[in-house]
Chains A and B, each alone.
Chain A
């Protein structure tokens, strides 16, 4: 395990270095000159030269990259061009919204998807199986931004059950402790706030959960069916174990590693889907922040957001990898 860990850690560092290069290069391709962007079209030539010098833009690219890397390692990405706040602070303020949304969606997808997949596998070939697998085919093809709009139309506009977006009703005052609206509402000790926070979370989380839910259901069904026909399961049945125990202890447990793999892989999908979901439900999350920053050419925020998301994503994948290696010794030996 030690060698495996060292090897994976080496790869991790190379990938993170690559991430910093990609983001740096992308931001240097940005159309337009940053100094002109900051000072406006009417700036004098000498003012532009002075600012370029201040920002280090007159130095060789390699020196600029080195400064960027040093800054990034210290968490300094410069200040937002829109409101002069530190870029990383804006990213960190928006992150809890995205985190809460993706975690809620993932929980929903697992809590519904795994039992549905098991149910479909146990009823293979019957109408129950068809009733579960057919919608999953539709689910994986669903454009989440459209589904979100339709959900708003039905549940908020026509039925009036759900709010039309945002984290909380407008005008609500709640102390910001963690930035996760549901957790903050619980910490505030006011039950009505908890209810509101959850009500605002349901539709976006359900929308974002659609594709992972469909994938998790399909993979659970497939893996259950595959392990149902394994020898040790036949042996367990032959020695007279009750069916429930065979399914729980032998079939499901064996099917669980590939299922966990797929669940681990959903994180990137969820982060991507969050960008669109946040736009539809007017949530001030990281995805929305990035899109607004790109449209406003606020490159320090784009830079900080891109590096932050990529680092989180890489670290989550790394943790998931280590998890499998711990669960399954065969992976360590590869």
Chain B
């Protein structure tokens, strides 16, 4: 005997409406536009970039922005515009690895804690408490110290830092969803624990997770860039935005453009994800309205 119960919570039609309402706001559309542009630039950086981001040309080092180099050149004569463009790919990688790790790990912890309860819940939530006992950048610093400074390690560190937030969110969602009639019905019909979690509880806890992932994407970009800026993330000569800023800091009194444009790029991407995430939260989370 099979029973289809998913539409009881929210059918596809009901979900589409708040989404289109969320995107009706000008701020949300601006956010979406920035995010789409960011994805586009990541995908087509090799076609758009005027130069090789690694090609040095010492004869034109520290050149001001001009027609030859729209955003100027750095101390090795590398084209800043090309480096910023390729840097977008590092930011996207940080989102995929960092935000992805936090989402995967946090969601698993939250599902297990919320659904299994008891000792599992107690242990997992104490781990979450301990992780939250560190200011987030300090925790990232400790993890990078343990693993050694590198781009991948900085992304893993940021992923672990944001894990507790997903774990708490999903646990809360699960606790409310598991009391709903369709989950009780599935349990009464003899569905296995794993099936109930994966087929019924997880999908119905998902929309706040997606909103959080959108909001965190911006933070992940800033934090990994921050670690690179401190010399603990991406290492030279990679054109990570944080590393570009660190480079520019040494020259910013004489060549302001090296640090200015990567910083502006970080700001815009974070703004895009924040505007989009904010609009989604307003529509999907009744408390935020």
Contacts and interface: CB of A to CB of B under 8 A. Distances in A.
A279 B27 contact: no
Given A26-B142, A30-B145, A143 B252 contact: no
B226 A309 contact: no
Given A271-B135, A275-B230, A145 B130 contact: no
Chain A interface, DSSP helix/strand/loop, else mixed: helix
Given A149-B263, A272-B136, A280 B141 contact: no
Contact residues on B (Cβ < 8 Å of other chain), bracket:
35 or more
Interface stretch (B4-12, B163-171, B201-209, B267-275): B267-275
Given A142-B267, A149-B252, A279-B229, A18 B129 contact: yes
Interface stretch (B79-87, B103-111, B175-183, B253-261): B253-261
B54 interface: no
Interface string B262-289: 1110110011001100100000000000
Contacts, number: 142
Contact of A272 (B137, B143, B253, B271): B137
Nearest to A313: B135
Contacts of B133: 15-16, 18-19, 310, 313-314
Contacts of B220: none
Contacts of A291: 141, 230-232
A152 interface: yes
Given A29-B147, A294-B144, A306-B138, A150 B260 contact: yes
A162 B7 CA distance: 62
A27 B146 CA distance: 6
Contacts of A309: 134-135, 138
Contacts of A18: 126-127, 129-130, 133
Nearest to A28: B146
A293 to B, nearest CB: 8
Contact of A29 (B146, B260, B271): B146
A268 interface: yes
Interface residues of A, number: 50
Chain B interface, DSSP helix/strand/loop, else mixed: helix
Interface string A159-197: 000000000000000000000000000000000000000
A309 B133 CA distance: 10
A302 B138 contact: no
Interface of A: 11, 14-16, 18-19, 21-23, 25-27, 29-31, 137-138, 140-143, 145-147, 149-150, 152-153, 157, 267-269, 271-273, 275-276, 279-280, 290-291, 294-295, 299, 302, 306, 309-310, 313-314
21 contacts: A18-B130, A19-B134, A27-B146, A138-B267, A141-B270, A143-B226, A146-B259, A146-B262, A150-B260, A153-B253, A268-B135, A271-B137, A279-B230, A290-B138, A291-B141, A291-B231, A294-B232, A295-B149, A313-B133, A313-B135, A314-B133
Given A16-B133, A146-B263, 13 more contacts: A21-B130, A26-B146, A141-B270, A142-B270, A149-B248, A149-B259, A152-B252, A153-B260, A290-B138, A295-B231, A306-B134, A309-B134, A309-B138
Closest 8 CB pairs of A and B: A146-B263, A18-B130, A272-B137, A26-B146, A141-B271, A268-B135, A271-B135, A29-B146
